[in-house]
Amino acid sequence: MSTVIRVGSRESRLAVIQSEMVMDAIRAAAPEAVTELVTMKTTGDKILDRTLDKVGGKGLFVKELDRALLAGRVDLTVHSMKDLPAELDPRLPLVAVSRRETPYDVLVLPTGQDQWDQTRPVGCASARRTVQLQALYPALDIRPVRGNIQTRLRKLDSGEYGALVLAQAGLHRLGLDSRIHRVFSPEEIIPSACQGILAVQAREDFDTSCLRTFHDADALACALAERAFIRALDGGCSSPVAAFARLIDADTLRLTGLYVSEDRTRSRTETIDCPRADGAACAAELAARMKREG
């Protein structure tokens, strides 16, 4: 008999594409499996007139999916890992992560323009991006923007903004690479923790063998270090902290962290190399030290 695996996803086009990536991998690893996509609108998708820090943070993108998973309405849920809250429900473990897509932030201009008019407002959805953009371009008028990528692009093209800063990974998965005007290096803007990585959650009793070809251990090592840094600083949507890890060889992880004081008058970045196996612990220690030293 065929095994039916129901995959829970947000309704946006990007979320569906990302869930389909997981479903393709499941069918490749377990040809007998039948996958079914179950979409739903999360609270974070419904509230678009306020920034996330004003309405509850990143957890708003996962609560409905968590409830569906606990109730048995779906068997797996797929998330952009950067949207997961720092603390996960222990009943819903992380069972797989994807290979990391390009993790950087990019500048997007209105359709038909090839010169950035820096006198017009820039749409930016996070405190992390805002702080780093202001350091690069102190005169910029940076304003919040909400909605999925297509919604933000419509706002840009209608003249509401002169540019947007978005994640390169999302544009790439949507086939919108042509909209990218320039890519910010991690030395310019440190990406969001886990940007470019997909996360799969399930109930504790789920057989994860169907995800064996999807899961990427290298991406997980980087993600756990980045999440540990953010968690140690109690970083969420309202906090401009950032962390970016990469493997410089099979056993060594390099982590760059951004710390910003509560009043946002002081910031600093620091990079460390540490054993891959100790990535999360080293990241938490770095965060704690940067916070102590201010």
Active-site residue numbers? 83
Neighbouring-strand partners of residue 10: 40
Give the 3-state secondary structure of residue 17: helix
Residue positions counted in the chain: 294
Query: 72-95: string of b/e by CB count within 10 Å (b at 16+)?
Result: eebbbbbbbbbbbbbeeeeebebb
**Pairing mode, if any, of strands 122-123 and 142-143?**
parallel
Return d(Cα 105, Cα 269) in angstroms, integer: 17
Strands annotated E in 144-216: 163-167, 180-183, 198-202
Structure tokens that stand for 54 in this block = 């004003």
Q: Which residue has the tokens 């603390």?
A: 87
Return d(Cα 218, Cα 154) in angstroms, integer: 36
Return d(Cα 145, Cα 281) in angstroms, integer: 34
CA 228 vs CA 222, 232, 248, 252, 287: distances in Å: 10, 6, 19, 17, 9
Q: Are 263 and 210 in contact (CB under 8 A)?
A: no
Structure tokens that stand for 213 in this block = 């070809």
Query: 44-68: string of b/e by CB count within 10 Å (b at 16+)?
Result: bbeeeeebbeebbbbbbbbebbbeb
Work out the end-to-end distance of the chain between its first and last CA atoms, rounded to an integer number of angstroms. Answer: 60
